[in-house]
Amino acid sequence: MTTDDLLARHRAVLPSWMPLYYDEPIELVAGQGRRVTDAQGRTYLDFFGGVLTNSIGYDIPEIRAAVERQLRTGIVHTSTLYLIRQQVELAEKVARLSGIPDARVFFTNSGTEANEAALLMATNHRRSQQILAVRNSYHGRSYATIGVTGNRGWSASPLNPLQVAWLHSGERLRGLLARLPEADRIDAAVEDLREVLATQTSGDVACLIAEPIQGVGGFVHGPDGLLAGWRKVLDEHGILLISDEVQTGWGRTGTHFWGYQAHGVTPDMITFAKGIGNGFALAGVVGRAAVVESVPAISFSTFGGNPLSAAAGNAVLDYLLDNDLQANADRVGMILHEGLRAEVGGLPGVAEVRGKGLMLGVEFVHPGTIDPDPKRAAQVFEACRAGGLLVGKGGLYGNVVRMGPPLTLTEEEAREGLAILVTAIRSGGTAPTVAA
């Protein structure tokens, strides 16, 4: 079967709103370490990891062995109506690492479900459906999480079960706060929060949900300390803080294990997903017991934290900690950040190189302006693939090339990928075709 045949079959049975990467979509059929191979036999260095999900890489012996051990028991699924040893062990680790005192953990299948569950808990705890969310955010594809997503391109429904008020993100490139000196932005964001509470809510707001670094939004983030500035105001009103760590968790930012830790504040709940499963469907919420226990009726997750995915999660977390991959993300990420800023940061059309650790974005604009240039981003995106490097796209305007390599990325691989990316950007979106 050729890729063209598979593409035709895909288009015949799957929705048109499910995008496929590349002008000529590829099927990935094998992986090893940080590299994947497509159906045509071409091998690529993967700097996107299934949207920051394959956090340890591909075909990792320790993770494969843990999954195979569980498979050999014959128990893949039991539901949470029975004790699941792997789930309990993983919950103990997540609770300990969360930094939240007396924490409880609820497992789900995806970041969407994790955020949905957190919103359920917060609105029950506060007896309010009023939510604070951040402009340019993304929190999922379900009814309520779309409602708190501040990115029009991902808002698949204009209907909303929640009453949402929107805060400025504090980003450095655009928006009202971008006009201010860096040192003044947190104070301005706090003033904005106070005004929003006074003018757009009745006061009894349930929670603020925020990403420490906005993932789909193009790795945009406000100044460190922003969450702490907001938290002081939230505490005056009893409003909960949810940190959406679906993309920033598990050491990816390098300097901290969780993104919220850069802000000097501890949230009431953390939502997590992606990297903890390294490709297996695993996500959840960890939060203060008083908040998590606010659900007033029986509830559970049929597949969340099942024996197989929890076995994978335990192996992933153990591997991550045993090999100090957070430090690796910091060290190897520095090669990429410094290299990109030195090689392309001053080029016309490159507005910003940003992110932390192994979470990087390059934003493209029309030279001499901050007007988004999604065409240039798409050209660089395609050129990277042609050069043997897989990256992602994102941003409110689709003009950001995003990178989230596995946390096991080596220094040599970082320099290899950097060279391909720099060539793609400097060449204006053309690059030599990778050898089969």
The answer to whether 358 and 391 have CB atoms below 8 angstroms apart is: no
pLDDT in tens, the chain (436 residues): 566 799 999 999 999 999 999 999 999 999 999 999 999 999 999 999 999 999 999 999 999 999 999 999 999 999 889 999 999 999 999 999 999 999 999 999 999 999 999 999 999 999 999 999 999 999 999 999 999 999 988 888 888 999 999 999 888 898 889 999 989 999 999 999 999 999 999 989 999 999 999 999 999 999 999 999 999 999 999 999 999 999 999 999 999 999 999 999 999 999 999 999 999 999 999 999 999 999 999 999 999 999 999 999 999 999 999 999 999 999 999 999 999 999 999 999 999 999 999 999 999 999 999 999 999 999 999 999 999 999 999 999 999 999 999 999 999 999 999 999 999 999 975 443 333 3
In 3D, which of 226, 244, 236, 231 has the Cα closest to residue 287?
244
In three-state secondary structure terms, 347 is coil
DSSP letter (8 states) at residue 40: T
Long-range Cβ contacts of 327-331 (<8 Å, 24+ apart): 327/254, 328/407, 328/408, 328/409, 329/251, 329/252, 329/253, 329/254, 329/357, 329/358, 329/407, 330/254, 330/255, 330/357, 331/254, 331/411
pLDDT in tens, 101-141: 999 999 999 999 999 999 999 999 999 999 999 999 999 99
The answer to whether 102 and 289 have CB atoms below 8 angstroms apart is: yes
CATH class (in words) of the domain with range 3-59+324-426: alpha beta
Neighbouring-strand partners of residue 352: 363
DSSP string covering 367-421? TTS--B-HHHHHHHHHHHHHTTEE-EEESTTS-EEEE---TT--HHHHHHHHHHH
Query: Could you state, in order of their start, the residue ranges of all structural domains in the chain?
Result: 3-59+324-426, 75-322
Q: Given this model, what pLDDT does residue 189 score?
A: 96
CA distance 402 to 434: 20
The answer to whether 335 and 112 have CB atoms below 8 angstroms apart is: no
> Please, where are the H alpha helices in 246-306?
289-292
CA distance 261 to 5: 48
CA distance 129 to 121: 11
CA distance 369 to 385: 27
Q: Given this model, what pLDDT does residue 434 score?
A: 35
CA distance 50 to 264: 30
Q: Given this model, what pLDDT does residue 436 score?
A: 31
In three-state secondary structure terms, 35 is strand
DSSP string covering 271-282? EE-GGGTTTS--
The answer to whether 222 and 189 have CB atoms below 8 angstroms apart is: yes
In 3D, which of 283, 261, 308, 245 has the Cα closest to residue 64?
308
Q: Given this model, what pLDDT does residue 432 score?
A: 38
Q: Given this model, what pLDDT does residue 1 score?
A: 52
- The pair phi, psi for residue 298, each rounded to 5°, is -60, 135
Q: Given this model, what pLDDT does residue 157 score?
A: 85
DSSP string covering 308-336? HHHHHHHHHHHHHHHTTHHHHHHHHHHHH
CA distance 436 to 378: 23
CATH architecture of structural domain 75-322 = 3-Layer(aba) Sandwich (3.40)
Secondary structure tally for the chain: helices H, strands E: 13, 15
Q: Given this model, what pLDDT does residue 4 score?
A: 75
Q: Given this model, what pLDDT does residue 2 score?
A: 64
